[in-house]
A and B are shown apart, each in its own frame.
Chain A
């Protein structure tokens, strides 16, 4: 087996808690945005990282590229430890790791033409490359080179964002909710484009999304996050067929299906995700958990992420007896 291109080990990112008024009173508890996360992605494959707002999924993507400094942990990219690199080697490595952001409106400089936006990374890394070829590769006409972001639709902007990431010929791309802000027909175009580029350039993706249905169409493996932790991780086909964690089951059940006959009994979770500054005791999901076997053990004992069947990990005391979500 070839070693994975990307491997994250025990990644932790804590933010200092909110300061109290005049700094009085007891020290605030830190916000545990990412709380000990590990995964790896083989070259040419896609890991779908799914979770709701506040689950820590975006923080993971940014920390992996060191757009934010981690609190602790390791990130191995093709054998080098990204978190311990000095700025020079880090910059060289960044050429091989890129990111596509969620919001194509705020991630492009409004004062730069498409050509200037695509030229900049090439100049920084001293590379030669043709802007027109990049545009062609993402399905935009060469005439777009002279336009400014405000002249483009959301889908076109996202294509420019993808072209910018591709310009330095990376091996690994963090796709941070790249289609969440797009209409459904444009979303399909951009997802297909990402899949085509992956095949053509043998790219490795970390695909971050809040939507399990979108991830279904791009990911080889799926990791589900809740409150800074991975609660389930498995090959895609398996996690959709037999989710082992009740949170995954609930997420799948909540996806609105475009089929009126499928008016199934939905699992509707009560309440909101708790604050990552004050995670619940025991299993972080227990206050909202709909599992019929939920017990005192869930309230007191943190379930470790453990292998249930080969390659299928879940952090639930009752993962051997998963909930029926259908």
Chain B
């Protein structure tokens, strides 16, 4: 890619002090990736892998304490390190150039303000629009996100809207300032499947119209397959595999990614037992030694216990995996 990087995340470490001050949860532990203008980058992983903490760290929305982003981490946007920015300047980025939508639209919207007021707020703050102009912009945004009768809906409160409508309002709020980056953290997880399809289609369409880059955070490999250009797979606070979407699905390399993919229930397969990854995600206070996936990995050998692999080039452009199998493929245990 010849495009300049829009958002560069390097060596991001976000740790939390646990309740009794005894341990440290290394929720995000040395994560690096790049986001290019106009692309959709999927970040995939299960609960506890660090994907949400990564997204919150980008806008410094981590509650401190108990959380803190370690020195040496870099989040570079438009040539500036967001982690070093004074709060005043950071505020000009938040919600303006980098916007975010969350999983649960009901808890992310304020129940005592109309949706119009909530959409207009960012336009008033960042673009210094008058109240009247901001209201007109809110109506325009509601129309853009496909809400019928936007002139009426602008005066409605969140409880008067369905789940799908609320998520559309969240998207309208996020996009009102035409951000360059939209961080979408599980934007459809709380929605029914037909509404999920509507919202994902809407995001695709808005991305084409507005040209923003999207960081799509999800646990659903199906969502990633249909909507991301590139994918970062996270496990235990680390990036374990990164690839262009097609390569990730065609030449899946990391055993964790393989396990996740095999665990997805398919409508195109006959009734059968699902593949399950044995065990569970370890606690962030005590990641395993060596490769963090080794206790659950069907291929692991002594090297995996002793030494953590770096992200190794698989040979496909842009495809890396944190697994010794890349350099020692003969160690792969054949499928039974």
Question: Could you tell me which A residues sit within 8 Å of B by CB distance?
Answer: 52-53, 153-156, 183-189, 191-192, 195, 210-214, 216-219, 236-237, 240, 250-263, 266, 268-270, 272-273
Residue B46 lies at the interface, judged by CB distance under 8 Å to chain A: yes
Assuming the contacts A183-B46, A185-B259, A258-B222, asked whether A217 and B274 have C-beta atoms less than 8 A apart, the reply is yes
Residue B201 lies at the interface, judged by CB distance under 8 Å to chain A: yes
Q: Which residues of chain B in 193-245 are interfacial with respect to chain A, using CB atoms and an 8 Å cutoff?
A: 193-198, 200-201, 219-226, 245
Closest to A212 in B: B267
- Contact (Cβ within 8 A) B195 A240: no
- Return A127 CB to nearest CB of chain B, in Å: 31
- Contact (Cβ within 8 A) B222 A192: no
- The 0/1 profile, CB within 8 Å of A marked 1, for residues 240-272 of chain B is 000001100100000000011101111111111
Closest to B264 in A: A258
Residue B276 lies at the interface, judged by CB distance under 8 Å to chain A: yes
Q: How far is the CA of A190 from the CA of B47 in the complex (A)?
A: 16
- Contact (Cβ within 8 A) B226 A256: yes
Assuming the contacts A184-B264, A185-B276, A189-B276, asked whether A258 and B197 have C-beta atoms less than 8 A apart, the reply is no
- Contact (Cβ within 8 A) B226 A257: yes
Q: How far is the CA of A210 from the CA of B193 in the complex (A)?
A: 8
Residue B273 lies at the interface, judged by CB distance under 8 Å to chain A: yes
Contact of A254 (CB < 8 Å), options: B193, B224, B275: B193
- Return B145 CB to nearest CB of chain A, in Å: 14
B249: which A residues are within 8 A, CB to CB?
258-261
Which bucket holds chain B's interface residue count? 35 or more
Q: Is the interface of A mostly helix, strand, loop or mixed?
A: helix
Residue B192 lies at the interface, judged by CB distance under 8 Å to chain A: yes
- Contact (Cβ within 8 A) B265 A213: yes
- Return A41 CB to nearest CB of chain B, in Å: 16
- Contact (Cβ within 8 A) B47 A257: no
Q: How far is the CA of A260 from the CA of B275 in the complex (A)?
A: 20
Assuming the contacts A191-B274, A256-B226, asked whether A269 and B267 have C-beta atoms less than 8 A apart, the reply is no
Question: Could you tell me which B residues sit within 8 Å of A by CB distance?
Answer: 46-47, 162-165, 192-198, 200-201, 219-226, 245-246, 249, 259-261, 263-277, 280-281
A53: which B residues are within 8 A, CB to CB?
163, 192
- Contact (Cβ within 8 A) A256 B280: no
Q: How far is the CA of A260 from the CA of B245 in the complex (A)?
A: 7
Assuming the contacts A185-B259, A211-B193, A272-B195, asked whether A255 and B223 have C-beta atoms less than 8 A apart, the reply is no
A252: which B residues are within 8 A, CB to CB?
267
A187: which B residues are within 8 A, CB to CB?
263, 265, 274
Closest to A216 in B: B267
Assuming the contacts A213-B266, A240-B267, asked whether A255 and B162 have C-beta atoms less than 8 A apart, the reply is no
- Contact (Cβ within 8 A) B194 A256: no
- Contact (Cβ within 8 A) A214 B226: no
- Contact (Cβ within 8 A) B222 A191: no
- Contact (Cβ within 8 A) B194 A258: no
B195: which A residues are within 8 A, CB to CB?
52, 272
Contact of B196 (CB < 8 Å), options: A185, A237, A254, A272: A254
- Return A198 CB to nearest CB of chain B, in Å: 12
Assuming the contacts A155-B280, A210-B193, asked whether A256 and B223 have C-beta atoms less than 8 A apart, the reply is yes
Closest to B263 in A: A188
- Contact (Cβ within 8 A) B225 A258: yes
Contact of B260 (CB < 8 Å), options: A184, A217, A250, A259: A184
- Contact (Cβ within 8 A) B46 A184: yes
Q: How far is the CA of A231 from the CA of B201 in the complex (A)?
A: 26
The 4 residue pairs across chains A and B that have the minimum distance between CB atoms: A256-B222, A188-B274, A52-B192, A188-B276
- Contact (Cβ within 8 A) A272 B162: yes
Closest to B248 in A: A260
A258: which B residues are within 8 A, CB to CB?
221-222, 224-225, 249, 261, 264, 266
Q: How far is the CA of A155 from the CA of B271 in the complex (A)?
A: 22
B165: which A residues are within 8 A, CB to CB?
272
Q: How far is the CA of A272 from the CA of B224 in the complex (A)?
A: 24
B269: which A residues are within 8 A, CB to CB?
216
- Contact (Cβ within 8 A) B192 A210: yes
Contact of A269 (CB < 8 Å), options: B198, B221, B275: B198
- Besides A184-B260, A213-B265, A257-B268, 10 other A-B contacts (C-beta < 8 A): A186-B280, A210-B193, A253-B197, A256-B200, A256-B222, A257-B222, A257-B226, A263-B226, A268-B194, A272-B195
The contact sample of 29 A-B pairs, CB cut-off 8 A, is A53-B163, A155-B280, A184-B219, A184-B260, A184-B263, A184-B264, A185-B277, A187-B265, A187-B274, A188-B265, A188-B274, A210-B193, A211-B193, A214-B265, A216-B265, A217-B265, A236-B271, A237-B271, A254-B194, A255-B267, A256-B200, A256-B222, A257-B266, A258-B264, A262-B225, A268-B194, A268-B201, A269-B197, A269-B198
